[in-house]
Amino acid sequence: MTAEFVKLEFEGPVALITIDRPKALNAINLQVLTELDGALTQILAHADARVLILTGGGEKAFVAGADIAEMANFTPMQGLALSTKGHQVFARLEALPIPTIAAVNGFALGGGLELALACDLLYASEKARLGLPEVSLAVIPGFGGTQRLTRLVGRNRARELVFTGDAIDAAKAKEIGLALEVLAPEALLPRCKEIAQKIASRGPVALAQAKRVMEAGADLPLKDANEIERQAFGLLFGTDDLKEGMRAFLEKRKAAFKNA
């Protein structure tokens, strides 16, 4: 089935997902979640994909939030089902074995910010506004925002944003460690593609292990986390890519990695 709101393209080793639902400022509903899930499946099946960039269609919004019109008359069980679906899809995004980049080109509110938080790296346009305004609707973030934001910017900043429901601009997002860079709107996607191409040139098996190790060790005692790193480091010496990378370094040439 052709996706209506989630567009997937491949530019060499870079996959690009665009949430494109302009009449609703790219708001997330059940259909968007289902289509996003399908796009992730296609990326996993694409052997040459090395990096994913995720952005919003148009100039106003990355993703302006979840679809309030769809949710307004939900029962508790329907609300739980929506949250469950969102958690499942965002967890799949977070667990992709390739690095992921959120190119936040406009409003990233509620579910939109939660989507960006499920990516590994976040770059923002000068026009971006980021926040979790759910409490103004008498609900809370339901796609992992309370947890991922806390882990990224710390308890106090996360509580301030969740409790007030306020949106912040891109400069403030960078100041608190939410965004890595703030760019002119026309420079955002080219910059993300530049970073993606650089990442794509590195050893893909090593990138997958680096991502796994950092995620797995984040909530563990340092001794246990270091053990995960130690094991992964040793295992990589059994890969063809490591042998190629080290040969290329010694021979002063560009490595030709094969993800093996």
Q: Within 13 Å and on the Cβ side, how many CA atoms surround 50?
A: 23
**Strand, helix or coil at 1?**
coil
Give yes or no: residues 125 and 227 share one domain: no
> Which run of H or of E encompasses 17?
strand 14-19
Q: Which residues are catalytic?
A: 114, 134
Q: Which of 36-45, 63-72, 157-166 has the lowest mean pLDDT?
A: 63-72
Residue 209 lies in a domain: yes
| Confidence grade of residue 151 (pLDDT, cut at 50, 70, 90) | very high
Q: What is the pLDDT of residue 2?
A: 81
Q: What is the pLDDT of residue 9?
A: 97
Residue 60 lies in a domain: yes
Q: Please report, for the domain that includes residue 208, its CATH number.
A: 1.10.12.10
Q: In what order do the strands lie in the sheet with 167-169?
A: 61-63, 107-109, 129-131, 167-169
CA nearest 113: which of 143, 81, 155? 143
Locate 178 and state its tokens: 């939410």
pLDDT tens sequence across 92-145:
999 999 999 999 999 999 999 999 999 999 999 999 999 999 999 999 999 999
| Confidence grade of residue 1 (pLDDT, cut at 50, 70, 90) | low
**Strand, helix or coil at 113?**
helix
Give yes or no: residues 196 and 212 share one domain: no
Which alpha helices (H) appear in 27-154, and where do they start and end? 30-45, 68-71, 76-95, 111-117, 145-153
Q: What is the pLDDT of residue 129?
A: 98
Q: Is the pLDDT of residue 171 over 90?
A: yes
pLDDT tens sequence across 24-58:
999 999 999 999 999 999 999 999 999 999 999 99
DSSP 258: -
Q: Which domain holds residue 66?
A: 6-200
Number of domains in the chain: 2
CA nearest 132: which of 109, 103, 116, 155? 109
Reported pTM: 0.95
Please report, as a single letter, which amino acid is at residue 112.
G
